[in-house]
Amino acid sequence: MTIRIGVRGAFGQSTINLADEATVADLTSKIRELSSLSAFTLKAGFPPKLLDLDKFDSSVKLSDTGFNLNGERVQVEERNKEQKTSPSVHGYTSASAPPTSVARNSDERTSAAKLVSQPEQPLPLKKKPNKFEEDPPAVELSDGSYLVHRVMPDDNSCLFRALGKCLLGSDVDGMVELRSMVAQGVQADTDRFNAIVLEKEPDDYCRWIQNPNSWGGATEIIIIAETFGIEVCAVNLEDCSIQRFNEGQAQRVFLVYSGIHWDALAANAMGKWGPPEIDVTQFDALDIEIEQKAIEIGRRLSEAGYYTNTTSFAIKCNICGWVGKGEKGAIAHANSTGHQDFGEA
């Protein structure tokens, strides 16, 4: 098994892949090579704590340190001689490096707010089966490749899976990592992400968003986009408009929002049946053609009924058969019965 560790610092961000038998020395050597730092500290976890590898002999296997590093995101910081270190954490399981920046202004949050609202409690909701899961739309680009609608699993983590697809690649399941990254972003700036913005206390929100059944929306996109230094464009199927997060970056990615579900858009040289491993998901921000084709795919999806109006759509409880109207009705039913499995009727 390969140990995959995300690292970031003043040098940028990268991924270190190590063998299962890798030692402390193997990891620190890789970090020195990437960062050009002779002395550094590592932080990980939520909230970020010192990852103290100095107390281990360099020949100790990483698997024997008690730190669960596979899939972690580690912050690398230059160590000063007089630097005071924070208490270390031993045996943590969730981690993400704190982002260098988070939401810049309230206008971005306001313009994005109509994309999705977050219920007080997680509301698992499954969309109706549709033909696009088996036959996704695709439009040809001028270079002969195709922009393809990539459908994400319907598991309440679709936003994180769509962003993971675009930012981490098809072969990486970054759902847990990205949720933790969001929690780090909130914790890093509770002045911006306060109880009014989050509709709950920041600490409660940080716990809530790491629940795999909690939906993500504008707040999560903003934090992840700014952490990766990329623009995220969301095609909202309600009116086929594009809502932008973290504008002004050199590269951007495209998501599709159906009202209850998030998917990704990708270019593939072999068309919609091309292997996802060769998908291109990050595009030059000045490429107008990609934006136009993204809107075209959005129109096709909307015309085919892929959009769901969460205020008025018919919803069914998959546990007791109750049928009601809209997300609010489902939340009321969930609160009164404890049932947490819903789908479009």
292 close to 304: Cβ distance less than 8 angstroms? no
Q: How far apart are CA 64 and CA 110, in angstroms?
A: 47
Contacts of 285 (CB under 8 A, 6+ apart): 231, 249, 250, 251, 252
Query: Which run of H or of E encompasses 33?
Result: helix 24-35
Could you give the residue ranges of the DSSP H alpha helices within 169-309? 175-188, 195-198, 202-209, 218-228, 288-303
Pairing status of strand 2-9 against strand 73-78: parallel
Q: How far apart are CA 170 and CA 321, in angstroms?
A: 36
Residues carrying an active site annotation? 155, 158, 261, 339
Q: How far apart are CA 253 and CA 118, in angstroms?
A: 23
36 close to 29: Cβ distance less than 8 angstroms? no
